[in-house]
Amino acid sequence: MDVNAAVAAAAAIAGVLTGVIAMLAFRWSERDQKRPTRTSLHTDPVLPPGVDTVLSVLRSSAVVLDEADAVVKASSAAYALGLVRGGKLAIEPMIKMTRDTRRDGEIRQVELDLPRRGTGRGEALAVSARVAPLGSRLVLLLVEDLTEARRIEAVRRDFVANVSHELKTPVGALSLLSEAVMDASDDPEAVERFAGRMQIEATRLTNLVQELIDLSRVQNDDPLEDAEPVRVDELVAEAIDRCRHQAGTKQITMAAGGTAELHVWGNRGQLAAALGNLVENAVNYSPARTRVGIAARRVTAPGGDLIELAVTDQGIGISEKDRERVFERFYRVDPARSRATGGTGLGLAIVKHVAASHGGEVTVWSSEGQGSTFTLRLPEAGTARDRERALLTPGLDEDDEDGQPDGTTTVSSTYEPLPAPEVLP
């Protein structure tokens, strides 16, 4: 009996020891699983403290790469530019830069032209890429999009070149004519002829300088700072009066009509210059004994009613290939005719900028040999005032200026017949 008890006690002790050993082995195994290994450190890199926050506020596209060139962190702009695809950096020159920087720790910068994603055209994105080490194992890539900056720089260079060319033409002509006057001092008829030519070139130079000033002003100034309701009838009358002499010389009939008592919202001086340029172009490019019409109407639009001012001529018209470029600075459909009329190529560019700065637009319809119609669309003054009044006085529910309840406006969907044309002497 004592022997059986001893055997049972020994078996119990052996069982307890086995359980303790098994439990210790299990705990040891769990601790080993939780302990980071070299492999886990390599495949799951951690950004230094604060780097993630800094990258989130950068305007540049940011990409962080690990030792295996895998992307650890990338901004949304980097994906939008197509720098990162499938968790990898997709631009081979940038990959080479990151590897070189990882090897020697030097900061590198280069400008590249990248193909634009989603287009079949040969356009390219101009970017500046800068690579720097980030800690001991990571590399930071910052990419800045320079496409818009390069486009603006190209526009500036073209503008300077065009201005230089346009200014040199009348200045050179004045220089030659002054020499001719000096050489012909004993010939009164020649002096008178050359002096007349000098007056023409001086006028052209004055117009060019003035339009350059006007273009600079409409590009830099905010017209809505001095905005006011402007009567459309007064703008039309001013534009007709501005071109009265040229139209009378060519026996061109000018007629104005459409909806009366319309108002637009904006800078009176700029609006008058824009409409005056359209009417002046219509007169200058129309043959003798033709007709130029100016019509105004109100049209509905999602953001509020607009006022359309349409200037129609019976001139030479504009070809389809030139129609897209007529609003470019210094662009002339017929350079020889522009020189004859004294045109500078800036009038329509001024119209375009005035329309855009007033929240409107200008469009053109034209057919060669049949004439052209330039349409200027601008916000209506009443609509703008009502919107401003509603913002200043919440819950306002008064009658509009047209005498109807708020939210209803009488709209003319078609031009009214033009009155009898005003025949200029």
Q: Do domains 51-145 and 223-425 have the same CATH topology?
A: no
Give the pLDDT mean for 342-370: 84
Between 68-77, 177-186, 328-337, the lowest mean confidence (pLDDT) is in 328-337
Whether pLDDT at 345 is above 90: no
Domain boundaries, the chain: 51-145, 148-220, 223-425
User: Which one of 1.10.287.130, 1.10.640.10, 1.10.645.10, 3.40.50.970 gives the CATH number of domain 148-220?
Assistant: 1.10.287.130
3-class secondary structure for the chain? CHHHHHHHHHHHHHHHHHHHHHHHHHHHHHHHHHCCCHHHHHHCCCCCCCHHHHHHHCCCEEEEECCCCEEEEECHHHHHCCCEECCEECCHHHHHHHHHHHHHCCCEEEEEEEECCCCCCCCEEEEEEEEEEECCCEEEEEEEECHHHHHHHHHHHHHHHHHHHHHHHHHHHHHHHHHHHHHCCCCHHHHHHHHHHHHHHHHHHHHHHHHHHHHHHHHHCCHHHHCEEEEHHHHHHHHHHHCHHHHHHCCCEEEEEECCCCEEEECHHHHHHHHHHHHHHHHHCCCCCCEEEEEEEEECCCCCCEEEEEEECCCCCCCHHHHCCCCCCCCCCCHHHHHHHCCCCCHHHHHHHHHHHCCCEEEEEEECCCEEEEEEEEEEHHHHHHHHHHHHCCCCCCCCCCCCCCCCCCCCCCCCCCCCCECCC
Homologous superfamily of domain range 223-425 = Histidine kinase-like ATPase, C-terminal domain (3.30.565.10)
Homologous superfamily of domain range 51-145 = PAS domain (3.30.450.20)
pLDDT in tens, 229-250: 999 999 999 999 989 888 998 9
Record the pTM. 0.52
Percent of the chain surpassing pLDDT 70? 70
pLDDT in tens, 364-388: 998 888 899 999 999 998 654 454 4
Between 11-15, 172-176, 180-184, 250-254, the lowest mean confidence (pLDDT) is in 11-15
